[in-house]
Amino acid sequence: MRGRFERGSRSFVVASGALAVTAGLLLAASASALRAPLAPSPRAVTHRTTFIKAVPAPGVYRVSLTTFARSANGRTVHVVVGSHRLALGVGGPHLRHRIWTSVRIRGRGLWVRTIWSRARPHVKVHLWRMRALRATTPATGSGTPVVPSVAPSVPVSSSAPVAPPVAPVAAVSAVPQPVGVSGGWSPVFDEEFNGSGLNTSTWSTVWWLPGMSLDNVSLSAANVGVGGGVASLTLSSSSVGAVITTNPRGGAKPGFQVGCGFVEGRVEFPGSGTTMDGWNGFWMSSQNWPATGEVDIFEGWGGWPSSNYHSGGPSHSSTNIADNSGAVPGVWGGAWHTFGVDREPGTNTVYWDGRVIRSYPTYDNCAPMFLIVSVGDGTGAPTVIGSKVNVDYIRAWTKS
């Protein structure tokens, strides 16, 4: 799909200041926990925010709570979930910290309360429904935590003691897994676009440097919107599109990159029937293109859906060697689909809606790659002004 500057005949290439929370950070999963005070330091000026994370139905939910920090200095954040309390280290080398817990939610939402001083903390909450409540469970209440545990995939500051983990509430895995793929997978990235704007600690709307174009269009941050749990990228004219990328060298701080593992997105690409509009894609690229690769999980190019690979070949040369799929049969435009790739040493396997559409040899040695969604134009595909690429989520896992 794209290299850093030239591809054959086609051109292209959690956070709260210092998080100095003297009073700590409170994430409460019950009405009683919301009323429980968390005493601040006498010198700290504290602020409080309460919101409700809506759920579709009562049940037992797996909860991921993530705090973000950009501070060069390590801080301790106190997290209280019901009657359980944890001390988490953030800042310094630990720019993001995540805990997992399971809760029983008897109403239609999970209460979350934050308390901070100096700088407002950035907190993300994701919920996955494990099962319905048992018939003997009372039908009232706001959600009582069952089991908190510290996610093993996130490092903990040595200066911040953490309460010992407790066994999960059920043997059933509540963490989303790649669609259609077997085996054990541990999540390393989960973007649900649940906020009111793009998370700039993870994403950038710039392609490498401000002013650089991509796929026959200039890029406008105004063409990127987030709302209702969906990120939307719009082609505002035949010459102005959009991109979001986790490239740490392209404005995303700290951004995100991943080597071997599985990357998946649920995306709606514009098109009608078997014809795709514009030049749009969900893809990954490395810092040393093309030698260390580019993976086009989905690429709408020339009016057809495709999945392509670019590299420097076995010699890792600076010459772009493309391995293109051609048109993939089926109707892939104008509806939601999941698109994923399993990167293994020497082989990529691409899944669309949980089915293998192709597998091919690779020469990138599982080099770290950043994630990209883009909206462009040209290549002979229909130009539809105002067409959008909508993204429900993007996730990544490594093998357990």
Statement: residue 153 has pLDDT above 50: no
Q: Which long-range contacts (CB under 8 A, 24 or more apart) does 208-211 make?
A: 208/4, 208/13, 208/247, 208/249, 208/250, 209/250, 210/251
Tell me how far apart the alpha carbons of residues 353 and 340 are, in angstroms, rounded to a whole number. 8
Residues 4-29: pLDDT tens digits? 333 333 333 323 222 222 233 334 33
pLDDT band at 112; cut points 50, 70, 90: low
Shared-domain flag, residues 132 and 226: no
Shared-domain flag, residues 100 and 227: no
Shared-domain flag, residues 153 and 65: yes
Say what the pLDDT of residue 50 is: 56
CB 215 within 8 A of CB 12: yes
Asked whether residue 148 is domain-assigned, the answer is: yes
Which of the pair, 172 or 211, is modelled with greater confidence? 211
* CATH code assigned at 367: 2.60.120.200
Tell me how far apart the alpha carbons of residues 78 and 318 are, in angstroms, rounded to a whole number. 49
What angle (nearest 5°) sits at the alpha carbon of residue 96, between those of residues 211 and 254? 20
DSSP β-bridge partners for residue 298: 282
- The one-letter code for the residue type at 232 is S
Say what the pLDDT of residue 27 is: 40
35 phi and psi angles, rounded to 5 deg? -85, -15
Say what the pLDDT of residue 171 is: 36
Shared-domain flag, residues 394 and 261: yes
Among 175-189, 194-208, 296-310, name the one with the lowest average pLDDT. 175-189
Statement: residue 33 has pLDDT above 50: no
* Mean pLDDT along residues 220-238: 97
CB 27 within 8 A of CB 74: no
Statement: residue 212 has pLDDT above 70: yes
Residues 351-376: pLDDT tens digits? 999 999 999 999 999 999 999 999 99
Asked whether residue 113 is domain-assigned, the answer is: yes
Shared-domain flag, residues 154 and 198: no
Which of the pair, 174 or 386, is modelled with greater confidence? 386
Asked whether residue 376 is domain-assigned, the answer is: yes
Count structural domains, the chain: 2
Tell me how far apart the alpha carbons of residues 192 and 26 are, in angstroms, rounded to a whole number. 22
pLDDT band at 209; cut points 50, 70, 90: very high
* Mean pLDDT along residues 197-201: 94
CB atoms < 10 A from the CB of 54, how many?
A: 10
Say what the pLDDT of residue 367 is: 96
Asked whether residue 257 is domain-assigned, the answer is: yes
Shared-domain flag, residues 94 and 243: no
* Mean pLDDT along residues 107-113: 68
Q: Which residues of 123-147 are buried (b: 16+ CB within 10 A; e: fewer)?
A: bbebbeebeeeeeeeeeeebbbbbb
Bridging pattern class, strands 321-323 and 336-344: unpaired
Say what the pLDDT of residue 136 is: 46
Say what the pLDDT of residue 51 is: 57
Say what the pLDDT of residue 68 is: 63
Shared-domain flag, residues 195 and 246: yes
Asked whether residue 238 is domain-assigned, the answer is: yes
Shared-domain flag, residues 359 and 261: yes
Statement: residue 253 has pLDDT above 60: yes
Statement: residue 196 has pLDDT above 80: yes
* Token code pair at residue 97: 């910290």
Statement: residue 347 has pLDDT above 50: yes
Shared-domain flag, residues 37 and 124: yes
Among 134-138, 252-256, 268-272, 286-290, name the one with the lowest average pLDDT. 134-138
Torsion angle, alpha carbons of 180, 190, 89, 20, to 10: -170
Domain of residue 197 covers 191-399
Say what the pLDDT of residue 126 is: 75
Average pLDDT across the chain, whole number: 76
Question: pTM of the entire structure?
Answer: 0.62
* Mean pLDDT along residues 58-76: 64
Shared-domain flag, residues 232 and 292: yes
Cβ partners under 8 Å of residue 157, min gap 6: 74, 76, 88, 89, 90, 92, 94
Say what the pLDDT of residue 58 is: 82
Among 76-90, 289-303, 354-368, name the one with the lowest average pLDDT. 76-90
In the chain, helix, strand, coil percent, each to 5?
0, 45, 50
- The candidate with the shortest Cα–Cα distance to 159, out of 209, 239, 65, 93, is 93
Shared-domain flag, residues 306 and 373: yes
Say what the pLDDT of residue 393 is: 97
What is the share, in percent, of the chain residues with pLDDT greater than 90? 54
Statement: residue 155 has pLDDT above 60: no
Cβ partners under 8 Å of residue 308, min gap 6: 1, 296, 299, 301, 322, 323, 324, 325
Please report which helix (H) or strand (E) contains residue 326, including its range. none
